[in-house]
Amino acid sequence: MADRPPPPIVVFDLDGTLVDTAPDLIHALNAILGAESIPAIPFETARPMIGAGVRPLLEQALAERGQFPGEAAMDALFARYIQRYQDHIADQSRPYPGLVGALDRLGAHGFTLAVCTNKYEGLSLRLLDALGLTSRFAAICGQDTFPMKKPDPESLRLTIARAGGDATRAVMVGDSETDVSVARAAGIPVIGVDFGYTRIPMADLLPDRLIGHFDALPQAVLELVQVARPTVTDGRN
């Protein structure tokens, strides 16, 4: 008997794509700034800073307030931020509307699902565990899972391999320039969501498909990936 081919796969970014994490990320950010007597960053100012990872978020917020700490001080602030954030990681963070139904429909079409994020792997697992989503994904890979991170295309290829998916029938779903770039570099089609945290409007990044709600995701994926259809017979050999 021939080996069964690997399944098609959909790889998701996390923050701003699967889950609206901005409230908890920004709450932790402003708690750390407040402890340093630094004025808080308004939500709408901080929101586009999310996406490259926690440390860049903290660095951008400090720069916004004219603060440029040295490496040792930055390391200490970063450690305190991580502790604060992980203790409140899902206080207000929630999956985007329609996500669970879209994952169900993709699974019914035979897709394996994975996460490739620039969030740390441990934080990603903690968040998805808290939201009851971990079991949905064959692999959850963060910026520290491999020697490289997005937008290096190898991070995406290794995520697909870890999940056991078919790299020739893969789609990336994300909300940022980083996600579009990593997919392009890996030679994989990309679906952009327009509800995430990108500074550049997703439409301007020219993804292969653009969606504004997860209800539209399964059809967009099927338009980009060839999926074997069940064979219908009349009962005769």
Long-range pairs for 67-71 at CB < 8 Å and ≥24 separation?
A: 67/36, 67/38
Angle at 58 between CA 91 and CA 60, to 5 degrees: 125
Please tell me which residue in 13, 20, 175, 179 is annotated as part of the active site.
13
Please name which of 168, 169, 146 lies closest in space to residue 159, comparing C-alpha atoms: 146
Annotation marks residue 13 as catalytic: yes
- 3 CB contacts (<8 Å, ≥6 apart)? none
Rounded Cα distance between 8 and 6, Å, is 7
**Torsion angles phi and psi, residue 55, rounded to 5:** -60, -45
Q: Which residue has the tokens 């338009």?
A: 223
Question: What's the distance, Cα to Cα, between the start and end of the chain in Å?
Answer: 19
206 class by beta-carbon count within 10 Å (0-12 exposed, 13-18 middle, 19+ buried): exposed
**Helices and strands (H and E) in the chain: how many:** 9, 8
Catalytic site positions: 13
